[in-house]
Amino acid sequence: DVQLLESGGGLVQPGGSLRLSCSASGFMFSSYVMSWVRQSPGKGLEWVSAVGGSGGNIYYADSVKGRFTISRDNSKNTLYLQMNSLRADDTAVYYCAKPGYYNFLDSWGQGTLVTVSS
């Protein structure tokens, strides 16, 4: 079974940094583009970033470009999201997600909550 387990969330002050991790199992991790999707409290889903299987192709939402960095370590089956210059509107549950045969997201982690507040 596919399993995705996020970690690294927490409370951080505005302007601070946090690194999220997503540990993957049950599939050939290196063969898949992996995405981060976030959901602000009481709001809808927002795609944040994606990285190709080899780590070479990287994409960001405009709202996080220049502040967030996605990466992966295929030897550890782990996806990362380095978040810098955090703002209050980055407060959200962050999910990692795996695509199906195309970019619909067929598996999601349970999410990790990031709260940006002073």
φ, ψ of residue 31 to 5 degrees: the values are -90, -5
CB nearer other proteins, residue 30 or residue 46: 46
* Pairwise CA distance, residues 80 & 104, whole Å: 20
Q: Given the rule CB under 8 A, which residues bind other proteins?
A: 35, 37, 44-47, 50, 59-62, 95, 100, 102-111
Closer to other proteins at the Cβ: 62 or 89? 62
Query: Backbone phi, then psi, for 51, in 5-degree steps?
Result: -140, 140
CB of 75: closest distance to other proteins in angstroms?
Answer: 26
Nearest partner of 12 among 88, 70, 79, judged by Cα: 88
Closer to other proteins by Cβ: residue 44 or 118: 44
